[in-house]
Amino acid sequence: MVKALVKYAPGEGNVEVRDMPEPTPGPHQVKIAVHAGGVCGSDLHIYHNDIKLALEPPVIMGHEFAGVIAEVGAEVTGWRVGDRVTAETAASVCGECVSCRAGNYNTCAQKKLTGYVYHGCFANYVVVDAKRLHRLPDNVDFVAGALTEPLACCVHAVLELTRVAAGDIVAISGPGPIGLLCLQLVKASGAYAVVCGTSQDAARLEMARRLGADQTLNVQQVDAVQALRDMTRGEGADVFFECSGAPAGARIGLEMVRRLGQYTQVGLFGRPFELDFELIAYKELRVTGSLGQKYSAWQRALALMARGQVNTGVLVSHTFPITAWREAFRVFEAKEGLKIVLTPMRG
């Protein structure tokens, strides 16, 4: 038996640490000894039962992780015990829909995720299909490697779905882990980055400056929309990434982005809200949503980490054992830290 953090029933809360059977890999799977697992905003949505993705309790939570292969299935080739790895979250897709056939399995309507439907990484071990494995670069430690999944999400949003060019003025709403990863990708693309946050985000805005933000704006202290217009001769931002998951961020974004500009929704709101959608027509905006990641984004994310062009480890502010998950979730929701990592109980 192993200690694991389990969403044991639908509804608000219904999460606790339980003893669970130690998993065994199938013929095409590997068993991974988890060294670090990142707490994602979606884990809080699972806790509060407002996630819109398929969720099938009881299930071990957690989908951002890095570790070492502990056991290899009988028909797995190319991998061996001791390999340092991370893995994609799409545990199961239909393989037949238009999305899957085009290689965009991250948008498969039948997709089932690790940590949502299949047992996740907030445990000593996690079992995944070998086809979802990625090798962790030698110069990336396990804590930094646990953030490969959110970085791959940001690569998909910034580099695959949005056209960011050198010299663009790019605004980012929400200086949390996702926003700060998007910032690093925007800077790697040669753009001018403006990160927006609130007074509660003071430490996070400082981190944004450390990571290369050209300007930060506290939207509670300045008129952020006017500030962008002032720096762009009245035009506004070329590109806007909404990473906060706050309705106010979306509203500011549609105002802030210039005519014929790009708006990409990355954060999850968890509820419906009113929005002046007509601005999309009046400005002829190119608007897209970004959901998860796929193989190409993982490969680019790992390459950027290996070359030191993106630093994920610097975002980790707290590490807790799985048994301290309540405090970890509290710190996350209170914005008292940045990225929170859980470690398994050994022995």
Q: Write out pLDDT tens, residues 216-252.
A: 999 999 999 999 999 999 999 999 999 999 999 999 9
Tell me the average pLDDT across 49-72. Answer: 95
Q: Rounded to the nearest 10 degrees, what angle do helices 202-210 and 177-188 cross at?
A: 20
Confidence of residue 52 (pLDDT cuts 50, 70, 90): confident
- Residue 347: its pLDDT value, please? 55
Stated length of the chain: 347
- Looking at the DSSP bridge assignments, the partners of residue 42 are none
pLDDT at position 346 over 90: no
How does the average pLDDT of the chain come out, rounded?
96
- For residue 141, give the 3-state DSSP assignment: coil
Tell me the average pLDDT across 312-329. Answer: 97
Residue type, 316: V
Tell me the average pLDDT across 44-71. Answer: 95
Q: How far apart are CA 330 and CA 142, in angstroms?
A: 23
Which tens digits make up the pLDDT trace of 265-300? 999 888 899 999 999 999 999 999 999 999 999 999
**Pairing status of strand 2-7 against strand 59-60:** antiparallel
The answer as to CATH 3.30.360.10 being correct for domain 2-152+293-343 is no
Which tens digits make up the pLDDT trace of 291-310? 999 999 999 999 999 999 99
Is the preceding omega at residue 58 within 30 degrees of 0, hence cis? yes
- Looking at the DSSP bridge assignments, the partners of residue 262 are 239, 286
Angle at 32 between CA 119 and CA 93, to 5 degrees: 50
Q: How far apart are CA 55 and CA 174, in angstroms?
A: 26
Count of other CB atoms within 10 angstroms of residue 73 = 18
pTM: 0.96
Q: What percent of the chain has pLDDT above 70?
A: 99
* Span(s) in the chain for CATH 3.40.50.720: 162-289
What is the token pair recorded at 55?
A: 């969720």
pLDDT at position 1 over 80: yes
Computed on alpha carbons and rounded to an integer, the radius of gyration of the chain in Å comes to 20
The answer as to CATH 3.30.930.10 being correct for domain 162-289 is no
Which tens digits make up the pLDDT trace of 124-178? 999 999 999 999 999 999 999 999 999 999 999 999 999 999 999 999 999 999 9
DSSP per-residue codes, 214-246: SEEEETTTS-HHHHHHHHTTT--EEEEEE-S--
What is the token pair recorded at 5?
A: 């953090």
- For residue 150, give the 3-state DSSP assignment: helix
Tell me the average pLDDT across 312-318. Answer: 97
- Residue 271: its pLDDT value, please? 87
For the chain, the distance separating the N- and C-terminal CA atoms, rounded to the nearest angstrom, is 11
**Pairing status of strand 59-60 against strand 90-92:** unpaired
* Span(s) in the chain for CATH 3.90.180.10: 2-152+293-343
Tell me the average pLDDT across 185-208. Answer: 97
- Residue 158: its pLDDT value, please? 98
- Residue 345: its pLDDT value, please? 77
Which tens digits make up the pLDDT trace of 67-92? 999 999 999 999 999 999 999 999 99
Q: What are phi and psi of 197, to 5 degrees?
A: -155, -170
- Which of 96, 76, 95 lies closest to 87 in space, CA to CA? 76
